[in-house]
Amino acid sequence: MNDACTHIESLLPGFVEDGLGADDTLRVRAHLESCEACRASLVAFQTLEDSLLMRRAELPPVERFLPAFAAAPAPAYRRPVLMRAFRAVISVPGISILLAVWAGTLAFNFREPIGRALSFSTPNNLVGGIDRLADQMVFLTDGNVWLLLAALTMVSLFVAASMGAMTLRFVRH
């Protein structure tokens, strides 16, 4: 093998991949026209290329190597019980603060009618006081039953959602 053949052989891997520039491609083609040894080399490189292209089929599926936690179909990760309890409990102060702010704002805005209602709620006539409080609520909603129901529903939903969220936090995490 002379120097020209050695140089051409160094280009043949790129030639087989169709990755040579135009000049080198022409140079290789011209040399191959007249060199039987390099044509045989080209066949060997093409055979090698075909064998290498089959290596992809040897890649085993990723599942074979995954740790058990990742191979399973999305097993839910559960924090330790103590951590779950802590995360659930820590949400209680937040919800309590929200409820307190909400109740305080309501009480401040409606302090006069609430005060009048409470003035009747002595131990002797507690039931009457509650009745009057109910009357005042009806008064506040201007006698609109639907508005009253909507307000009560909102409060109930808020409390239920808060309790539900706390429960879910504990169960899921």
Partner 1 sequence: MPNLDSELVARSLRGDERAFRELLTRHHGVAYAVVRAILGDRDDVDDVMQVVYLKAYQGLKSFRGDAKFSTWLYQIARREAIDASRRRRRDVTDIEDVPLPADPADAADAPLRERDTREWLDRAMGEIEAHYRTAIELRYMAEKSYEEIAAIMDLPEGTVKTYVHRGKIELKRILSRPDWRARTAENQ
Please report, as ranges, the residues that interact with partner 1 according to CB under 8 A: 9-10, 13-14, 19, 41, 43-45, 47-49, 51-56, 58-60, 62, 64-67, 69-72, 74-75, 77
Residues 6+ apart with CB under 8 A from 20: 11, 14, 28
| Closer CB to partner 1, 34 or 51, in the complex | 51
For partner 1, which is the closer residue by CB, 1 or 147? 1
- Compute the least distance from the CB of residue 67 to partner 1, in Å: 5
The CA-CA-CA angle for residues 19, 22, 28, to 5°, reads 80
List the beta strands (DSSP E) in 44-106.
none
Q: Which is nearer to partner 1, 61 or 123 (CB)?
A: 61
Give residues with Cβ within 8 angstroms of 85, minimum separation 6: 170
CB of 10 to partner 1, least distance (A): 7
